[in-house]
């Protein structure tokens, strides 16, 4: 008999926590296994570890029903019928995938896996990694059913999207695929069956497409900024009443823990012939420098106090991973500005100031992440630069 239906390795993170809540809400006994003691303690007290729409209500419910548990003891892996691994493939300093880090985690917990378990690989993986994980257990003499079922949700709205989007399922045995279908059918509206390599590429293609899509608007913005033309007037003319352009994105800082990483994984998989991906990276990563040049073209930075409002990688998020606002802050330090102040509505940082203090102290204000709270702020006549919309 198993104590838990599901144990999620890395269960307190942005991938594991919403999935754990979803399964617990469907009356599965879920254990969130994590080494982050602060996050474990917060969850046990009914406090979500990060900003996630609807998480508080679901968390209160599943804790009261004793369907969700937290642990830092890896023995919970052995106590589960199903194990979910949310370790993905990060990049090294040369933008190459670090597959070895996935196997470091497997080595760390190998003793606790047992024959007959279903192992669900949830995070984005470099193509062919799921096959290597399957072979890893075969060669080490443990019989697990390995499946790759990637998450495809928007951070901050994962609970809603898990329940509304189709779930891709792939695996290396009919038994594993059927078990995964049965499990996910309790929380998703539809499942789609692919081979593991197809599933890996589907996730990477989707994120790379979005990254390239955003880079088009950013490239156009860079063109107009060089000639001091208001891009947003052009944007309105392009999109207003013109259906073929209704999905054209606005410019902004295109960042976060997935889009660049997954685009570069595809580039590596394509033997560095993914020219669209590399071009998108050059455009998107140039946006902080472009923003700085726009500011410098319109005002003198010398001896001025400069503030960045919004340090998260996107609006309405508390995730600072790979945020380009931090890159902008570093660039500003090379200027002759008097002081640089940073603020964010959702990120706790002792070096940050409140938005009120930032507005009061700064001569120049740059919107780094377009949190809703900034839309109606009174800036006291200060110079404000907002790449996200017309001034």
Reported as a single tens digit per residue, the pLDDT across 62-78 is: 999 999 999 999 999 99
End-to-end C-alpha distance for the chain, whole angstroms: 62
Would you give the DSSP letter of residue 91?
B
pLDDT grade, residue 390 (50/70/90)? low
Which class for 391: exposed (0-12), middle (13-18), buried (19 or more C-beta within 10 A)?
A: exposed
Q: Over 70: is that where the pLDDT of 391 sits?
A: no
Reported as a single tens digit per residue, the pLDDT across 270-293 is 999 999 999 999 999 999 999 999
Cβ–Cβ under 8 Å, residues 49 and 43 = yes
The predicted-structure confidence for 186-227, as pLDDT tens digits, reads as follows 999 999 999 999 999 999 999 999 999 999 999 999 999 999
Q: In CATH terms, is domain 4-194 a member of 3.40.50.300?
A: no
Cβ atoms within 10 Å of 83's Cβ, excluding its own: 25
Task: Return the pLDDT at 106.
Answer: 97
| Gap between the Cα atoms of 115 and 126, Å rounded | 26
Superfamily for 230-385?
Answer: NAD(P)-binding Rossmann-like Domain (3.40.50.720)
Query: Over the range 206-234, which residues count as b (16 or more CB within 10 Å of their CB) and which as e?
Result: bbbbbbbebbebbbbbbebbeeeeebbee
Q: Give the pLDDT band of residue 389 (cuts 50, 70, 90).
A: confident
Query: Are domains 4-194 and 230-385 of this chain identical in fold?
Result: yes
225-257 pLDDT, tens digit each: 999 999 999 999 999 999 999 999 999 999 999
Q: What is the mean pLDDT of residues 334-339?
A: 93
């Amino acid at each position: 008999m198993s104590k838990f239906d599901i144990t999620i390795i890395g269960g307190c993170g942005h991938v594991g926590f919403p999935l754990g809540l979803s399964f617990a809400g469907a009356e599965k006994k879920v254990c969130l296994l994590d080494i982050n003691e602060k996050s474990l303690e917060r969850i046990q007290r009914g406090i979500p570890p990060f900003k996630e729409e609807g998480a508080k209500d679901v968390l209160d419910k599943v804790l009261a029903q004793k369907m969700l548990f937290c642990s830092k003891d890896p023995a919970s892996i052995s106590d589960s019928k199903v194990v979910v691994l949310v370790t993905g493939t990060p990049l090294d300093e040369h933008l190459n995938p670090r597959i070895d880090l996935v196997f470091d985690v497997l080595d760390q917990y190998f003793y606790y896996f047992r024959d007959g378990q279903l192992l669900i690989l949830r995070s984005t993986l470099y193509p062919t990694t799921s096959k290597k994980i399957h072979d890893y257990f075969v060669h080490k003499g443990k019989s697990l059913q390995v499946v790759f079922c990637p998450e495809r949700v928007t951070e901050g709205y994962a609970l809603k999207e898990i329940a509304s989007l189709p779930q891709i399922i792939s695996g290396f045995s009919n038994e594993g695929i059927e078990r995964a279908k049965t499990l996910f059918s309790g929380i998703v509206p539809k499942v789609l069956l692919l081979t593991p390599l197809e599933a890996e590429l589907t996730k990477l293609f989707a994120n790379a497409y979005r990254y390239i899509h955003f880079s088009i608007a950013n490239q156009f913005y860079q063109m107009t900024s060089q000639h001091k033309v208001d891009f947003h007037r052009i944007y309105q003319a392009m999109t207003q009443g013109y259906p073929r352009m209704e999905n054209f994105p606005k410019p902004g800082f295109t960042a976060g823990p997935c889009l660049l990483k997954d685009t570069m994984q595809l580039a590596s998989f394509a033997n560095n012939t993914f020219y669209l991906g590399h071009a998108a990276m050059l455009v998107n990563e140039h946006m902080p420098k472009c923003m700085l040049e726009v500011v410098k073209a319109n005002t003198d930075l010398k001896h001025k106090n400069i503030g960045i409002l919004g340090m998260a990688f996107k609006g309405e998020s508390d995730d600072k991973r790979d945020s380009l606002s931090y890159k902008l802050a570093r660039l500003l330090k090379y200027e002759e500005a008097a002081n640089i102040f940073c603020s964010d509505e959702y990120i706790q940082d002792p070096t940050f100031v409140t938005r009120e203090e930032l507005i009061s102290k700064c001569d120049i204000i740059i919107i780094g992440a377009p949190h809703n709270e900034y839309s109606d702020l009174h800036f006291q006549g200060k110079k404000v630069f907002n790449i996200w919309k017309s001034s």
